[in-house]
Structure formats: structure tokens, C-alpha cells
Chains A and B, each alone.
Chain A
Amino acid sequence: MANSRGGRVYVTEGGEKIYGIMAEFATPADLYHAAEKVRDAGYKEWDTYTPFPIHGMEDAMGVQRTKLPVAVFAAAMTGAGLAMLMQWWMSSVDYKLVTQGKPYFSWQAFVPITFELGVLFSAFTALLGMIALNKLPMWYHPLTKKERFLASSDDKFFVAIEAKDSKFDPERTRELLQKAGATSIELVEE
């Protein structure tokens, strides 16, 4: 039994494929330290789930800085460039309009719209880029089958380690989370 990643596939006794192991923690501090332990144990396919962004969590998890701001900067330049190009083409090529005796391409007067479109493009890229990089919308996820997990949007803190991680082992992974101070641990089916 080998999946595409060359790892193993775990199934429950009922024959259901296993998504991973989910562990609950009571406080942000407990979760923070648990995340550091999971990171140091070398896991890659895992995540923590918290009701609010915890300060410094990306370091505790070893998450790389997102490239989103670079994409937004590119979008801002694209928006501004297109705006200037549009105004140049419309007022000095396609429909030459003399206003106040100014040159057809009086770029100074085109600055406000150039700026606004730069902002508009960056705002759309920031939101849609965030959604796309997070692989959303995704209206189904194995974890949401667990009623306990729904408290992650209220006041509970979770770690979930996926079975597709090469280091995943039902026994040892469970032990690691137990040692990290989990208040409850559950196996999650796909």
C-alpha cells in the first residue's frame, strides 16, 4: 500500500482512510510550546488552529514568511502602469481632446487616477491572493467532522498532524502530542 508520496496509508479498523491526529490544548502558551516541539521533531505536514492569530506562532511552527507583499507590489505597479497607459491612449491617441490648451499627454493630470487604480489593484491582490494562497474557498475539511474541533473558532487551541507526513506514526505522533501537554487526542478520518 503506497500513496503517491511514497509513504504509507493508514486506515481505521472500519476501513476508513486516516487524515491525521488532532490534539487539543487549553491555552495559547501550551499550544505555542507544543508547536515548538512538533517543529523540532521534524514534521512538515501539520498545522495549528487557534481562535485568533497568536503572536509569534509562525516562528514556533517554522513557517516561512509569506510572499504575498511581493505579489501586491507587482499588482500595484501593474494597476498604476495600466492606468497611465489607458489615459495616454484614450486622450492622446484614440480621442484627441484639447483641454485648456494642454498637451495631449499631460501626465501630471493623470496622476490621481494612476494612483487610485494602483491602490485598487493592490487591494484586490491582497485579499484574493490571501484567499488563493490559503487554498480557499474550501467548504469541506476532515477536521470539521469532529465536533470538538469546532471550538477552535471559540476558545480552544488545536494541533493536527497529517498522516501524509513522512514522519507520521500513529503511536509515536500520539506520544509526542501527549508529552506536549494535550488535554485530548483524537484520530481523524478523511
Chain B
Amino acid sequence: MTSLHPDQATAQRLAGLSRPAAPPPVHDPKSGDGTLVDEPGVRPPLVLGGRTFGEVTDIICGYSENPPPRWWTPAFIAAFSLAQLGGIMILYLVITGIGTWGLTNQVDWAWDITNFVFWIGIGHAGTLISAILCLLKQKWRTAVNRSAEAMTIFAVICAATFPGIHIGRQWMAWFLPPIPNANGIWPNFRSPLLWDVFAVSTYGTVSFLFWYMGMIPDFATLRDRADRRLRSNPGSGAVLLPFVPVRTDKIRAFVYGFLSLGWRMSSRHWHRYEAAYLVLAGVSTPLVLSVHSIVSFDFATSIVPGWHTTIFPPYFVAGAIFGGFAMVLMLLIPFRELYPNMKELVTLRHIENMAKIILVTGMMVGFAYSMEFFIAWYGGNKFELFAFQNRAFGPYWWAYFTMISCNVISPQVFWNKKMRTNPLVVWIVALLVTIGMWFERFVIIVTSLHRSFLPGEYHMFHPTLVDICIFAGSFGVFLTLYLLFMRFLPSFPIAELKAVLPAASPHNHADGHGHGHGHAKGGH
């Protein structure tokens, strides 16, 4: 596999690079692009193509400085329109009422809460990559952490919408947090739903702070590049629009400069920055585990058969990481094909490692599915047993079957190394897992509610067009934000990626300038 984009001319234009990637060093063809090394003593390169510091800057800044690839604008319009559809349907919902959804007295939580748990789960991969893999010193995380963190924030935005519009009288949403009000009342702090308000808002805020802090030095890089172009070429240069005589670089220098807070790459600053990063990673690790545990308490603390189980917190956390990594792969695999030089940053090893995590967490949720059944039988509670029999063999058997085949069976192909290193296969499995994880939440919520203790309470849930459009709209919001992120923000951590190049070590005296050395070379 070559490390350069097939359309070489486009690649050069977009990245503004003076030279193509160095010819790939001789490596075992079994190691894919040279990164799939199983020997524990050998450290495969983290950035391919023998790139120098300057070239890493050029490649990554090129994604936001140069005109976007041709597919970007149509893709953005499509995603934005989908988001608008969702927005209009939410407006209709607010004006008309919750009756526009398919909810009934029996099934009073359905697509809304399914979508909430689905999106909040997707966010978990970002924090896992940026926090837990940071503490475990997994250096391969650097290439994917920025986009995964962005994904976390956008997923939390989508997730937070659903409980917000589900409450019925949406203009009363401010009653959720403990805000002093004229009635002199406070919320019930013993309710898991209130814990959820705190958990999700803390999670969204902390993820945003982590993401922003990571971008501060990269904003400074983008600012300095715009500044250098302005200084070296004061008279002319690209303008914002043909009839607006404001130079794009002036806007960049101002906006990126403002966001960078005047960061100037000082080592004394870097020292505190790294300390702050480690501390944030340390507090985010228990946070990410707590958020989905608390989401699972919404169900587990109730007495509804099928929900009232102690296995929920670890089961939900494993499922969240499982679904989150599937979404990361679903986005990154096409992007690394479509953007020039991205294959040098997101290598086959990244894909293989994430596929392995999907396999492990997939087995965990598989174990949880079977353990729930075992306990339903072993516990001797006939309502519990009925809930599970109804889940697998009742009218929603097809949803249960979809969940099992997507989440438990499809990741099993990753036992085979050829399969987990083939981007197309990984993408298809990631798609299946994303579908499966949505169905998992649907199965948990709807099949537990639709047949309650008395046969007179038996109901089926039928989604309405409003249900479907709002769910589709949440994907529109997610993709719109993600495309804007790829277009305008540093989509890879520039400074962190340079720090993992072999030439970054202060004890590296080999030919000194970072060219073509360091493959399969340890640190120091």
C-alpha cells in the first residue's frame, strides 16, 4: 500500500508539500504498510513516509488552510439539510406535543431515550482514547485522539437534545438543574435522572475543556503560519470572497490567535501544560466510567423486569466503548482514503488496534447478554424470566436477533488478522456494530416496557415519521459539526504528533534532521 494519495496532483496541491513521501523503507510485506509488527521488541513507526517536523505541520495545517476536497461542499450541504429536517421536526414536536411521537401509556420511553443512550455511548471512545490510553502510554493514540475527542463532544450534543425534548414541556427544561425558583422547591437528589443531568453536563464540559486545551498549541501553529504569510506577502493573497477585500489570513491570524491565548511554545509553559494534561486524563478516566454507569442507573434502579439488574453499569460501559470505537472507525476509514497523506498518520496499526478493542468489548457485551439470561432463570423471578423470554422470542425477536448478530457474531471475524487489517472489512463490521448498538438500547428499553405485569398492559411501539426524522436529524447535526471540524480546526494534534517522531528525542544524534531514519527504532 503506498503512503501517498492516489491522486498525486491533488495531494500536492492540498498539502502544499514540496516533496512526496520518502519511498517506503523495505519491510516485510506481511506487516501491511510497515506498522503491523507483532514482535514485542520492535516499535513500528507512528508516522509513515519519513516525514520531518515541518512536513507534519504542512500536512495537518493543509487540511484546514487549503480549499477543501471537491466532495466536501456537497457532503456538508447534505448533512446540514438533514440537520435542518431534524430541527424542523423538533419545532413541530415542541409546538404540537409529545403525542407526535409513537409513545403510549405503556411504552413511554422509546426512540428518544434509545437515541440518547446510543449517542452518549458513542462519545465514550473519545475520552477512552484521550484519557485512558494516555495514562497507559499508548503512543498510537496521538493520531486519532483529536478527531475522537471532537466526535465525543458532537455526540454529547446530539445525546443531550433527546432528554431535553423528551420532557414534554420543553420550556420547563431549566427545572432540571437545581436553580432557585419561585415555588421554593429543589430537585430530588435521590433520583438517578438528576444524577444523569449532572453526569452528562459534567462529561460534556470536561470533554470540551480537554479538547480545547489540546488545541491551544495547534491554534498557535495555525496563527503563526497565517502571520508568516501576511509578513512575507503583505500586498496580496487570498481574500475571503471576491467582493470582500478582507484577507483570509488576517481572519485566521485573528481568530486562531485569539483562541491560542497567545501561546508561544515556551518550555516553561509546556511543563505546566503537560502536568495539566496528565491531571485532566487522570480525572477523565473515572469520569468516563461513571457517566455510562449513571446512565445505566436510570434503568437499574427501577423495578421494571429486564431493567432491574446489577450487571448494568459494567455492561453499559463496555457497550459504550464498543459502539464508540465503531463510530471512530466508521468516520476515520473513509477520511483517510479521501484526505491526502492521511494514511501516513492513521496507519493500519491504528485500525488493527481499534478492531482488537471492538473484539474485546464485543465479547464483554456478549457475556453480559448471556449472563442476564442466566440470572433471569437462576433468580427464580417469573416476571424477570418472562421479560427475557419475551425479549428473545416475543414480537420483537427480530430486534433481539439483529442485536446479537451485529454485536456478538460480526466482530468475531476480527480473530483473523487479515480481516482486522482490511479497512473495508473493518468499516463494514463497524457499521454493523453501530446498528447493533442502537438495537441493543431499543431492545433494552422497548421490550422491557411493552409487556408489563398484566396482559391488559400489552402494547406495541410504532415509531412515527417525527421519531424517524428527529433521529435522522441527529446524524445530520453530528456530521455537520464533524465536517466543520475537519475544515476549520486542527484535525490532528500537530504538536503531539511531532513529539512521537523519532527525531523528537533530545538524545537522538543520528544524522540529526529527521530524514528517513527511525523505522522500527526504539525511543531511548
Contacts and interface: CB of A to CB of B under 8 A. Distances in A.
Given A95-B184, A117-B198, A153-B224, A68 B512 contact: no
B272 A109 contact: no
Interface residues of B, number: 77
A110 interface: yes
Nearest to A35: B267
A99 B190 contact: yes
Interface string A2-41: 0000000000000000000000001111011001000000
A23 B186 CA distance: 61
B283 interface: yes
Contacts of B503: 27-28
B188 interface: yes
Interface string A151-163: 1111100000000
B279 A136 contact: no
Interface in A113-133: 113, 115-117, 119-120, 122-124, 126-127, 129-131, 133
B161 interface: no
A42 interface: no
B57 interface: yes
Interface in B199-242: 199, 202, 205-206, 209-210, 212-213, 217, 220-221, 223-225, 227-228, 231-232
A116 B54 CA distance: 41
A51 B224 CA distance: 11
A90 interface: yes
Interface string A54-75: 1111101101001011001000
Given A47-B266, A63-B268, A150-B224, A127 B506 contact: no
A52 to B, nearest CB: 4
Contacts of B228: 147, 150-151
Contact of A53 (B57, B191, B274): B274
Contacts of B224: 150-154
B299 to A, nearest CB: 15
B495 A90 contact: no
Interface string B318-362: 000000000000000000000000000000000000000000000
B57 A52 contact: no
Given A57-B271, A113-B195, A122 B279 contact: yes
A26 B267 contact: no
Interface string A69-111: 1001000100000000011001100110101101000100110
Interface stretch (B96-104, B256-264, B368-376, B387-395): B256-264
Interface stretch (B11-19, B35-43, B286-294): B286-294
Contacts of B76: none
A112 B508 CA distance: 48
Contact of B506 (A29, A87, A91, A131): A29
B54 A28 contact: no
B53 A119 contact: no
B283 A53 contact: no
A126 B283 contact: yes
Interface in A142-172: 143-144, 147, 150-155
Contacts of A143: 264
Contacts of A179: none
A55 B287 CA distance: 28
A123 B268 contact: no
A144 to B, nearest CB: 7
Contacts of B286: 115, 119
B108 interface: no
Nearest to B61: A154
A126 B504 contact: no
Interface in B272-289: 272-276, 279-280, 283-284, 286-287
B267 A68 contact: no
B179 to A, nearest CB: 11
Contacts of A117: 198, 202
Contacts of A138: 261-262, 264
A27 B505 CA distance: 9
B185 A152 contact: no
B70 interface: no
Given A109-B189, A112-B294, A122-B283, A29 B507 contact: yes
Contacts of A173: none
Given A28-B508, A95-B186, A119-B287, A127 B495 contact: no
18 contacts: A27-B512, A28-B503, A51-B53, A52-B499, A54-B504, A54-B506, A68-B272, A106-B190, A116-B199, A116-B202, A120-B205, A123-B209, A126-B279, A130-B213, A130-B272, A131-B261, A134-B266, A147-B232
Interface of A: 26-29, 31-32, 35, 47-58, 60-61, 63, 66, 68-69, 72, 76, 86-87, 90-91, 94-95, 97, 99-100, 102, 106, 109-110, 112-113, 115-117, 119-120, 122-124, 126-127, 129-131, 133-134, 136-141, 143-144, 147, 150-155
Given A50-B267, A63-B268, A90-B189, 16 more contacts: A27-B513, A27-B514, A28-B508, A50-B270, A51-B495, A52-B504, A57-B271, A63-B267, A91-B188, A109-B189, A110-B190, A129-B276, A134-B269, A136-B263, A138-B261, A152-B264
Interface of B: 52-54, 57, 178, 184-192, 194-195, 198-199, 202, 205-206, 209-210, 212-213, 217, 220-221, 223-225, 227-228, 231-232, 257-258, 261-276, 279-280, 283-284, 286-287, 290, 294, 297, 494-496, 498-499, 503-509, 512-514
